[in-house]
Amino acid sequence: MSFPLRLRRPLIAIGAVGAAVLTACGGSSTPKATAGGAVTSTTTSTAPAASPGTMFSTAEVSGLGTVVVDGQGHTVYLLTSGNGKNAPCDDASGCTKVWPDLALPVGTPAATAGTGLQASLLGTTKLADGETYPTYNGWLMYEYVGDSGPAQNHGQGLQSFGGTWSAITPAGAPVTPAATPSTAGSTSSTGY
């Protein structure tokens, strides 16, 4: 079908916009360096990744022993203050920017207990923000931004946001300082 010239330009523009929208909705492009130093681009699907808070298990973490980890293998931490359980860590204080919480996705009623975890200790709680969070032995669980991958312990023993951060044992207790070597975690507890 042939369109008059005055109609072709708007159709081309509509086609270009449509292609851009489809490209934006279809995935993301991430540049990657190759062995020779050249940069290539790979396209990834936009399917949502599994939330790290939907499954917990245990893993051996150097310097800590066997501790609770989230669905991505990251060490999870709890926050104690004095004899209290679950010292506050929320968005308003900036705490969750450093210690991300592990809210359950909407429609997910509970987390799953994986290998080494005592299923009877895995529960949930709904906080004032309306979100549901997994708990282990009643403790809310957090990741630490200083842990860039699985089985790291850079948050162990840090004091910030009004309490002390500890990894969690399979029995549901904080990992004690005696179980933590002096080289574990960050050498500085300032700023967080």
Residue located via tokens 């403790």: 139
Same domain as 106, residue 20 = no
pLDDT on residue 177: 66
Same domain as 63, residue 37 = no
Same domain as 151, residue 80 = yes
Same domain as 155, residue 135 = yes
Same domain as 15, residue 99 = no
Dist CA 57 CA 130 (whole Å):
26
Domain containing residue 25 = 5-42
The verdict on residue 19 lying in a domain is: yes
Provide, for the chain, the percentages of residues in helix, strand and coil under a 3-state DSSP scheme, each rounded to the nearest 5.
20, 30, 55
The verdict on residue 184 lying in a domain is: no
Same domain as 93, residue 123 = yes
The verdict on residue 188 lying in a domain is: no
Same domain as 19, residue 72 = no
* Domains held by the chain: number: 2
Same domain as 58, residue 139 = yes
Residue located via tokens 């969690």: 168
pLDDT on residue 84: 75
Left (φ > 0), alpha (ψ -120 to 50) or beta: where does 32 sit?
Answer: beta
The verdict on residue 185 lying in a domain is: no
pLDDT on residue 176: 86
Same domain as 37, residue 62 = no
Same domain as 58, residue 30 = no
The verdict on residue 139 lying in a domain is: yes
The verdict on residue 189 lying in a domain is: no
Helix (H) or strand (E) holding 124: strand 122-126
Q: In tens digits, what is the pLDDT along the chain, a chain of 192 residues?
A: 554 555 444 444 444 434 333 333 343 333 333 333 333 333 333 333 467 789 999 999 999 999 999 999 999 999 998 877 888 899 999 999 999 999 999 999 999 999 999 999 999 999 888 899 999 999 999 999 999 999 999 999 999 999 999 999 999 999 986 544 433 333 334 344
- Count how many residues are written for the chain: 192
Same domain as 88, residue 26 = no
